[in-house]
A and B are shown apart, each in its own frame.
Chain A
Amino acid sequence: MDAIMTDTGFVDVAALDDIPQRGARTVATAHGDVAIFRTGDDAVFALRDSCPHRGGKISHGIVHGHGVTCPLHNWVIALATGAAEGEAAASCVPRFPVRVAEGRVLLDVSAPLAPA
């Protein structure tokens, strides 16, 4: 699928509507797969598609509020911070800058964000 470069490191990866509400789609990157989540209130987040517990693909989890439940063992990850609820601070999923402009999802995978 086409990915169009825009300003800075942001790349147009999908239409917002390609991602179901309360769902996720994945993007293959040099950092491994990145999951782009769209919540029920249309906020969008990009996190590495890998659970800090045992690497479960969080893109397959159930999205609720601003969190996702990993499909393998039900860890709940906060999408805004990547932190796993009730787990050690080290258990954090790397996040990437992402934004929505005119219905398109723009992702920057040049480097993960600093831990929140």
Chain B
Amino acid sequence: MHGTTLSRPRLVVVGNGMAGMRTVEEILAIAPGIFDITVFGAEPHPNYDRIMLSPLLAGEKRFEDIVLNDYDWYASNGIRLIAGEHVDWIDRARRIVRGAAGTEAPYDLLLLATGSSPFVLPIPGAELDGVQTFRSVADVGDMLATARPGAKAVVIGGGLLGLEAAHGLDLRGAEVTVIHLMPTLMERQLDASAAHLLKQNLEARGMTILTGTETAAFIGDDRVRAVRLKDGREIPTDLVVMAVGIRPNAGLARATGLECNRGVIVDDFLRTSDPAIFAIGECVEHDGKVFGLVAPIWEMARVAARAMTGTPGIGFTPAASVTRLKVSGVEMASAGAFLGDSGTEDIVLRDGARGTYRRLVLRENRIVGLVAIGDASDAAWHFQLLKDGTDIGEIRDSVIFGPLADGPADPDAAVMALPDGAEICGCNGVCKGTITRAIKAFGLASVDDVRARTKASSSCGSCTGQVEALLRAALGTEYAPATVKPVCKCTGLDHGEVRRRIVGGKLKSIPAVMQALEWKTPDGCHVCRPALNFYLLCAWPGEYVDDAQARFVNERMHANIQKDGTFSVVPRMWGGVTNARELRAIADVVDKFDIPEVKITGGQRIDMLGVKREDLPTVWRDLNAAGLVSGHAYGKALRTVKTCVGSEWCRFGTQNSTRMGIALEKMSWGSWHPHKVKMAVSGCPRNCAEASIKDFGVIATEAGWDLLVGGNGGIRLRGTDLLCKVTTEAEVLEYCAAFLQLYREEAHYLERTAPWIERVGLDYVKQAVVEDEDNRKALAARFLHAQTFAQADPWAMESAAAAGAKFTHVAELT
């Protein structure tokens, strides 16, 4: 040890962590030996790299590997280290600090580097054994005592720390569930699309990720055994790790009267309100900001070291920095205003096959933010452009591809370079040679031909581009790709292709589709989002979670918007039949809510027009009380089933058309479709219910029922085509269900049955629904299965839910 010279000023550091020791290192570099240094550290260790706690937890590193300054370092620099003693008092008048064990150290200059503490949720059970945080080596030790293969662990918090803990526990063999309050993971570093990819990746490793989920309590006697969620669910567990945020350790400074807010307040030179005391790291607050990552702390250490040694220098300004992390092994980066703000535009690049996503946020042709996940290799270059404020106008078309993307590479070259044995279509295991040989042998000329012959590209479709390259190579200028009519400007794919890839690629959310299909905008537009929402709903009944924000206002509000912003309300009247109780309830509602107009619709029911937005839930509640439910007059859904009076009353009637219509409506109400669907049943060929201009019409005959399809009485009048004749009511229902399901599964969004049938041909529909009995039964079964999830009255659900903000102002400032 170096001898101590009494004349040297004494520097005492409180906090033996990353910020404190980095400052000491900076001081030693500028002016070695200038201070007589004493360091107090509450942890019984030399300074270690806190960032490396995750690899320590995961078993990828040992403690020795993550020590930054070992005991020799302190000794050889003449630093007195008091490890394991917490400082709990500072006598500012006498300039002495005192430790919990009574050690006292006088100072001329004091540096507070006390870091921060994890936030503990103030909920019942937080004190139980097995409920802990993640900040120190000791915390890792506690986790490892429980986390053995097969143990259950719950991590609360889906930010950086929580996911690191989850990753480590997962690698230790624990069954990990992550509970995150916000709708997306790591919302402070990632936008929704990137967060979606991260979640997918973690789930693929077997973790359970619950977003938008709030924890209510921890259950157990002495030791935690379950976590209870706000919605009442309980998740059994052996361990709970809370990683919900940190709070600066400013208590000591506050107690001794230093100016503090959230953290210890420092100026640009890291001085506190007492000129003899500096503070640095996560315990400080500078210019209203507190800190949680090391990059700005390194800069603080440089500035503080200069100020403390009297070396001239410029003050601390938190520089824009790029956060590059590898969370749970997934590369990511974000910087600047990566969420965008007023006046920004986006450039998005998604690679569905590799699971990568990057987004540049531009303002006036300059990059102001970026986010990348899966592949952050160009983030440094993009960040440089951001920092330099480079005008990227010239390279705007290629900038997203990174610095190497000067000339457009030949995308076909890569495919041609592959050997014949290389697999092109992963779904169906078709390799290149099989495809090229089939193209030659059978004279295939289109992607559809290749699909039909080899199965390549017929499932998830992500290899379509490669198949096209092979066709181009084989046919040269002869190859005429089918003209594609893209869904909208957000994609180059058409409706059919999008639908095929949703099913084939097992894509189950809008972000998943946008990622895998390489959408060109961050979150689509008013054309594609409603379409995707329907396609997903149709493909994954009971599984897909409907996205209200992807629906047109009428479907979101369960009522038709009118030109003055009021709404119309149309309850269902099954088959057009009503009774005194329903009519009385309607009359009462009209009086009670002062509804200006009541009209009989063209669909055999009653429309109340001019209902105020804020009245909707109560209007529905009153109607529900009389047994009236939503008529879906607002939806791309089953609308009405018109009937005539039929054989029960009419002198010409041959069958009970009213009962048939009601049975059809009971079977199919609540179903969502590419467009609205209307049905009708007439009791004889006089056809009073106008069945021959409906999407699905039924006309009774002496022998049974004629089934009619593809009619339209709207913009372009089209009479129905005869699908077939059946004899029983059960057959009417089965054929109807099968027909509706075929339309649901295959039509383009906003295509009514009339144009759909003209596009695919009546014969195709007959083949699928009439001639192929197995197929008909399977279609009908899929329809009825989907209906088990669809038949819940939206009015009852909305008026029961407490959340009324959709129907009212959030605030009134008048």
Contacts and interface: CB of A to CB of B under 8 A. Distances in A.
Given A25-B809, A27-B811, A61 B553 contact: yes
A61 B526 contact: yes
A43 B340 CA distance: 7
B418 interface: no
A40 interface: yes
A89 B187 CA distance: 36
Nearest to B548: A20
B812 A28 contact: yes
Interface string B781-814: 0000000000000000000000001100111111
Does more than half of chain A's interface fall in helix, strand or loop, or is it mixed? loop
B563 A72 contact: yes
Q: For the side of the interface on A, what is the size category? A: 35 or more
B341 interface: yes
Contacts of A25: 805-806, 809-810
A36 interface: yes
Given A41-B340, A71-B553, A64 B565 contact: no
A62 B529 contact: yes
Interface string A81-104: 100000000000000000000000
A27 B810 contact: yes
Interface in A22-63: 22-23, 25-30, 33, 36, 39-43, 45, 54-57, 60-63
Nearest to B803: A18
B192 interface: yes
B553 A60 contact: yes
A74 B526 contact: yes
Interface stretch (B517-525, B585-593, B596-604, B711-719): B517-525
B201 interface: no
A69 B522 contact: no
B59 interface: no
Interface in B541-586: 548-554, 556-557, 561, 563-565
Interface stretch (B12-20, B164-172, B342-350, B409-417): B342-350
Does more than half of chain B's interface fall in helix, strand or loop, or is it mixed? loop
Contacts of A71: 552-554, 561
Given A36-B810, A57-B565, A71-B561, A62 B522 contact: no
Contacts of B564: 55
A76 B805 CA distance: 24
A13 B549 CA distance: 21
A2 B565 CA distance: 25
B183 interface: yes
A30 B813 CA distance: 7
B419 to A, nearest CB: 42
A28 B813 contact: yes
A65 B810 contact: no
B530 interface: yes
A54 B563 contact: yes
A20 to B, nearest CB: 6
B523 A65 contact: yes
A101 to B, nearest CB: 11
A42 B343 CA distance: 14
Interface in B668-686: none
A79 B342 contact: yes
A3 B809 CA distance: 12
B561 A64 contact: no
B715 to A, nearest CB: 16
B526 A11 contact: no
Given A41-B192, A64-B524, A72-B561, A13 B813 contact: yes
A1 to B, nearest CB: 5
Contacts of A107: 811, 813
Interface centre among B191, B563, B810 (most CB of A within 10 A): B810
A80 interface: yes
Given A11-B813, A43-B344, A62-B550, 17 more contacts: A3-B813, A13-B811, A20-B549, A25-B809, A25-B810, A28-B809, A28-B811, A29-B814, A40-B523, A41-B191, A43-B341, A60-B556, A65-B346, A66-B345, A71-B552, A80-B342, A109-B813
14 contacts: A3-B811, A13-B811, A14-B810, A18-B805, A18-B810, A28-B813, A29-B813, A36-B810, A41-B191, A41-B339, A60-B565, A61-B553, A74-B526, A107-B811
